[in-house]
Amino acid sequence: MERIIIIGGKGAAVVLADQIIHAVQNYNAKYELLGYAIDDESLGDNINGFPILAKIKDLHEKYAKYSDVKYFFALYKPSCMKERVDLFKSLNLPHEKFINFVHPSAFVAPSAKLGIGNVVCSNVTINSNAQIGNFNTLNGNVLFGHDSQLGNYNILAGNSTISSEILIGDGNFIGLNSTIRDRVVMGDYNIIGMASAVIKNIESNQTLVGVPAKQI
């Protein structure tokens, strides 16, 4: 059984906690949620009954010796994706302290490949020959198409649809109910607004909204 500490304590971190709890209670998944690592003292000493165990910078010093304790990084704001990645890298946490969480209701094709530290939430579909890098989050009901590739540190919001043979770089935020057309190539650190439709290639560091999606 893997024992889990979530780095974060608001929003996405609590969503992940509830995904883990649901998987344990309803599918007998082999996880134990220990609690959180977060610096925000206004949260008190627990979140929904699970303790705040450490400040972020102190986490690994406290838990490095426990081989069965694993971490998930669940801090983000869509407008601060680069800062999020920089923070994560600055922690120098060893990769062996991370695992993938795949909710039992998700479908991951046998031919798909996942790196480490990924979160795949309930009812996600990852189709044939897809490649998922490291430290990505695919929220509920995401469809990730066949032969598409996702880099590292990306956030795919609920109900977003990634079509086939797409290449996505690092640190992108793909908004709620947005769609990316097949064979699109996307760079790094872009924000795709909710319900947008991306139909052409995107470089890096852009914010796009609308149907079709246009830079703002």
Encode the chain (216 residues) as per-residue pLDDT tens digits: 899 999 999 899 999 999 999 999 999 999 999 999 999 888 899 999 999 999 999 999 999 999 999 999 999 888 889 999 999 999 999 999 999 999 999 999 999 999 999 999 999 999 999 999 999 999 999 999 999 999 999 999 999 999 999 999 999 999 999 999 999 999 999 999 999 999 999 999 999 999 999 999
Query: CA end-to-end span of the chain, whole Å?
Result: 47
Q: Residue holding tokens 């939430």?
A: 121
Token pair recorded at residue 150: 């996702």
The residue behind tokens 């134990």 is: 32
Numbered ranges of CATH 2.160.10.10 in the chain: 99-209
Looking at domain 2-75, its CATH superfamily turns out to be NAD(P)-binding Rossmann-like Domain (3.40.50.720)
Closest CA to 70 of 30, 50, 93, 99: 99
Q: Which CATH architecture has domain 99-209?
A: 3 Solenoid (2.160)
What's the pLDDT score for residue 79?
A: 85
> In the chain, where does the domain assigned CATH 3.40.50.720 lie?
2-75
Instruction: Please give the model's pTM, rounded to 2 decimal places.
Output: 0.96
Q: What is the pLDDT of residue 201?
A: 98
- Contact assessment for residue 70 and residue 79, using Cβ atoms and an 8 Å cutoff: no
